Structure 1
Amino acid sequence: MADRRYPIIISFTTTLPIGTQRPHTLIMLVDIISAVGVLIAAGVLATSATAARRHERPGTLWFTGYSALFGVGFGLLSVGVLVGSIPVTDFTGAVGRWLALVWILPVGLWAMFALRYTGRFVSLTLKTSVLLAFPLLIFVAQFLFSGVSSVPTHPVGLLGITVRCYALTLVVTGMVLVVRATRRYDHTTAWQGVALAGGPALMWLSWSSIPYIAQLSRTAGGTAYVLGGLGAVCGFGLAVFRLDAFDMAPTVGVVGERDIVDETDDLVLIADEEDRVVRTNERIRSASSRVDPSAGTVTVEDVLGNDVDGLRAAEMVTRCLGEVRRAGLDSDRPERPAPGNRS
């Protein structure tokens, strides 16, 4: 019987690791994401120009500056990625550092917008200017010290952590002020504040999480890159074009409350839940002989000589020569004539 030998065929299959993409696929992905970034930047700049052209309400100028600076920065970054001047591997690295600049540098303008928009008119003094320019000063210091071999790397890294925490504090504070002010008054809605605050919130959430999301795949990192800018253009566009955030601003409510308290002839004292004086008007400050309500933390009893429960129990409270006394409503009321003795 003839010995039959069957050929042994060995098949080798080349398997690429999960998440590994071919060069042409990566180039196409980067081009699409950067092109979308350019369109997003154009939308933010259009929203900024519309707000500046149509409105002159308090805070509009600062909003225009903030959104314009963000739009220009994000647009330049996206163009740099598109033309290849900024290398892209997984949307961390150089892109992540530039994204940090885009959202951190304008935060001072965002804080000033939130203050002006909610009726808190902070004057632009030297101290305020330094606080606004603090992130820029830190970035300049990092750039200068990073090239010096004699400077340790740990202090330079600590500066970066400090400026990120500082920027995040300004962003969150501005968001809280805007949302609280818009939901407080009847002529505004909380959605106005949510739309305005949604831009910085989505920027920070998306871009700060890119180093973790990009570990899944380059597509996930690129999606986070786009979502940060998309949140800004959608939030700002919705606030300006749909919700009329600058036509019906909460500024008039805050300023009106302050003017009513300050200009009334009555003695006005506002206290919190623990009877601590929060605010007084000029009339009560000039009439108070016990303690200056504006000097430190004082209570209602320190100013009026009686606690809140005692004042609530009184039928009428009058202020006379620095003392508080209870005046019965029936004490000065004329006696009624007896039945049958009416003339």
Structure 2
Amino acid sequence: MKGADFKGRGTGCQPGNSYEKTKLVQEHIEGIDLPEYEENPRTQFINVSTKSALTVNDSPDLPLNYSVNPYQGCEHGCIYCYARNSHQYWGYDAGLGFETKILVKTDVVAQLKKQFEKKNYRPQAIMLSGNTDCYQPAESKYKLTQKILGTCLEYGHPVSIITKNSLIERDFDLLKKLAEKKLVHVYFSINHLDNKLKLLLEPRTAVAQKKIELIRKFSKEGIPTGIMVAPIIPGINTDAIPQIIKLAAEAGAKQVGYTVVRLNGQVKELFLKWLEEHFPDRKDKVMHQIEALHGGQSNDTDWGRRLKGEGVLAKTISGMVQLSIKKYLPKGSKMTAFDFSQFKGDGQLKLF
């Protein structure tokens, strides 16, 4: 794995693609050789089409079975992101390639409308996004998430959003209209309160303080808002859990969820390199604790355990989260139930 430090990127490493039989190497560098990235690369946006806007999953770990991902790859650069591995399916790498080669599904809105209008389609709340962040920097240019939300409002279809980016504030008026019809939930992912840690851990996301401000703004206007403390990384951000929940609750968050970190596929290589660079003194301790959560392995695919962990440390984390929820969230606090009765699919819109 080769790598370099690039400002504003989660990693400069480019691990080989696991699905390719050959890979580019520079074992004997000649004068005419040029590295793929001589300097901090600019992001490339690549237009692609999709056969289906909705991704369906049957994971018992996830509350929603439908998701829409307008973008693949993500400039946020979160070093721990499980979605990094999926970028290899498109022929790119899980490291710097994931952060700099962003696939834009230009026809996603048209495909979503087609699916809504199918005769046998029955509405279920869709998640924006199940893989990469729907409000990543690309959204400021392409506005696909905004158009998807507009489509959900048009068809009366429930949607749940999770993001780490303050760009969501741009769509405040649209979210308010969806909330008035009980068609939207908004979750902010917050796993730290330290801006210096943010620059290392998830460099192009919004700072926690800004997300707390948006929770307050949205909540005051009736937009149901919650948080995900995710992922929790032992030895890195565990101590921040109670204060994150306290601040979010005070701002009006109605629900709190959490996950623990898991290092599947090439994410483990990237994370180890990250620890070596930024936290060499605690590298072994952090890795041993992650492995303790997942049956002795950092790579975990077991339902249930992969998101919450197991064992003494998992119970400690769970207890910390639950105690904080009990202490800071109002009793009985929960997100507003979705109203599925407003859905206008099956060609109904064509009548008007």
State the TM bucket, normalised to the shorter chain. under 0.3
**Structure number with bigger Rg:** 1
